[in-house]
Amino acid sequence: MSDLTGELIDGRYQLMRQVAAGGMATIYEALDTRLDRKVAVKVMHPHLAQDEQFVERFIREAKASAALSHPNIVSVQDQGWNQNGSPAVFLVMELVEGHTLREYLNEQGALSIDAGIKFLLPVLSALSAAHKLGIVHRDIKPDNILISKEGRIKIADFGLAKGPLLGTTMTAESSIVLGSVSYLSPEQVQRGVADARSDVYSAGITAFEMFTGEKPFAGAEPIQIAYMHVNDRVPLMSTKRADIPKELDQLIYRATNSDPDARPRDGGEFHQALMAISQSLDPNQKQLSLELDIPIAPMRPASKKPSRRERARIEKEKTVAIKKIENTGENKKSAGKESTAQIRKRKKLSKRVRRNRYIAAGLAIALGIGGWYALVGPGSKVVVPSIVGATEKEANQALSPLGLTLVISEKRFDEEITDGLIIESDPAGGGKVDAGGEVKAVISKGPERYVIPKIMGLTPEAAVNLLSKIPVKVGEIVEVYNDEIPKGFVIGSSPTRGENVKRDTVIDIAVSKGVETIDLASYLGKSADQALNELSDAGFNVDTVDQFSESVLAGAVISQLPPGGAPLAKGAKIVLTVSKGSEFVFIPNVFSLTEAKAKAALNDLELKVTVKKIGAKKVKAVTNISPKVGTKVKRGSKVTITVG
């Protein structure tokens, strides 16, 4: 649909900017020039305005919302047809500035228990009010739950609603196409029927997603998800999240039961059960019900006085009748005087003759018009049924009995219509075509997506050439260090290989700068602890080897491999040889020391001690040592002490 921004709809609503667009209509932020306030204007797509079924659904949404007065339901303020400028069917709603629950969940993920209950209670309160009036929403989902900047929760889009206030409803088939399959109740999928318990199911699925951060069923195609809703049981939320209170877990499990009779009977019962759980979880919290329980006196029936237009028509008919009577009187005067008997006979005869003549003339005119209409006029044409949303096979089945031929004029990508379904037809549903004529249709190719190819290992030029074969845009080419891909070759892309992306998606490319190198310093003669810490922090892999040295102090670096002074790849292995000190020691003087102190002194020099004991003294001291005091020996040598 073309953008109508700037248009003045119905001489009153100035469209300021496009807020959202869907498969059925586009929503604009607008200015009500009469009341000088901002509103939301929902304008139906022109090709759907030719389809009576879609127009009926559009008007039904206005009636459904207008029939409800509740603080958690988006109010509808006006509805009409734009006669000036671009032809459009529209409805005017209050403008809710904020975001949808879907956007909130996409950003926040699963909600806390307290926050989830606070979000869900207003939704159920609004459904309770609708169900009390016999109105069923039939399309409850996070996308239709709005959150204003002030935090007010509101339900929107009563386009699939049905109830005694709204007249006839759509067929089961079209309901399934238009509803959101992830939230459809089993009875809607199987039989196309919905009541208050169906809204309870959809609200339960929405609650499941709010508390767990994911839908209970997922599949590649909508039909797979619909099959799961019919044949599988929605799991307990506790299987996805451990901290779900048992009472809340069981309530949502009950609301999503495949059997409608096992669910809460309507939004009011669901709301009361959740309110009780909320109070039990936090008894000190003040609860506020948004339901309006004030009884309203019935309105008196409106008076049946004729309208101003009707009164004008009656007056005109009276004037014409009076003129006819006057003309008749003048004709009588010109004919001369008649006897009383002649006058009575003529009046009686003239009335019957005039009546018969009128009847005959009316029949002739009707037959003439009917013949023209059926043979050469519009009646000779065939009314085209709506085939939007149908497959090619289903469309042929609908058109063939009417003698019409389906011609696929175009296949087009579409973000909302599934691959293989008809997007639009010419003529549209409700239009007319010559008998035996053709109906042209545009078939959806599904969302336009392209797979990112493998570009790792290519040169940047080759990668750009490969990406140019699909309608995407090349963004930044960034160089980064990499240990595996040689310098100058592509490491990868963002989005990554194999992802499905939209047309004109920007693809960034990462190119290898090779292995990162660092200038290696020399740590000869320096502390081994310092060398180990600094080299490890720089990203090197350090090993140490201990070795005796007669020239380097213990704990200092004797040698380094590779040597310092040259750049080295980050993560490379470095071997440090660390001094253990001199290999030789001198035998110390341990005479007169106790056995324990003598052994400790000799062990500190890494000497192996053997003890010989003599005498009967309780406290023994060293009386002899071998080798002699002052002898130079290797560390680890055997020393014998005599104590007595």
Instruction: Supply the pLDDT for residue 382.
Output: 79
Q: Is residue 390 a contact partner of residue 398, using CB atoms and an 8 Å limit?
A: yes
**How many residues does this entry show for the chain?**
644
Q: Give the DSSP letter of residue 588.
A: -
Report yes or no: 593 and 629 within 8 Å, Cβ to Cβ. no
Write the DSSP string, 508-554. Answer: EEEEE--S-EEEPPP-TTSBHHHHHHHHHHTT-EEEEEEE--SSS-T
Q: What is the pLDDT at residue 544?
A: 92
Q: pLDDT value at position 304? A: 44
β-strands 473-480, 506-512 pairing? parallel
- What per-residue confidence (pLDDT) applies to 374? 47
Say whether 139 is catalytic.
yes
pLDDT digits (tens, 9 = 90+) for 159-201: 444 444 333 333 333 333 334 788 989 988 877 778 889 999 9
The pLDDT tens digits of the residues spanning 140-154 come to: 999 999 998 888 999
pLDDT for res 247? 96
The three-class DSSP label of residue 127 is helix
Residues of the chain with pLDDT under 70: 1, 23, 61, 64-65, 85, 158-179, 284-380, 430
Query: CA 264, 265, 269: angle at the middle one, nearest 5?
Result: 60
CA distances from 265 to 122, 140, 186, 330, 344 (A): 18, 16, 16, 77, 75
What local confidence, expressed as pLDDT, does residue 612 receive? Answer: 92
| Exposed / middle / buried, residue 341 (Cβ in 10 Å: 0-12, 13-18, 19+) | exposed
Predicted pLDDT of residue 76: 85
Looking at residue 299, what is its pLDDT? 31
- pLDDT recorded at residue 376: 45
pTM of the full structure? 0.45
CB 447 within 8 A of CB 413: yes
Q: Which of 3, 51, 139, 504 is catalytic?
A: 139
Position 66 scores a pLDDT of 75
State which H helix or E strand residue 320 sits in. helix 308-334
How many C-beta neighbours within 10 Å does residue 120 have?
26
Q: What is the pLDDT of residue 438?
A: 92
Q: Which amino acid is at 472?
A: V
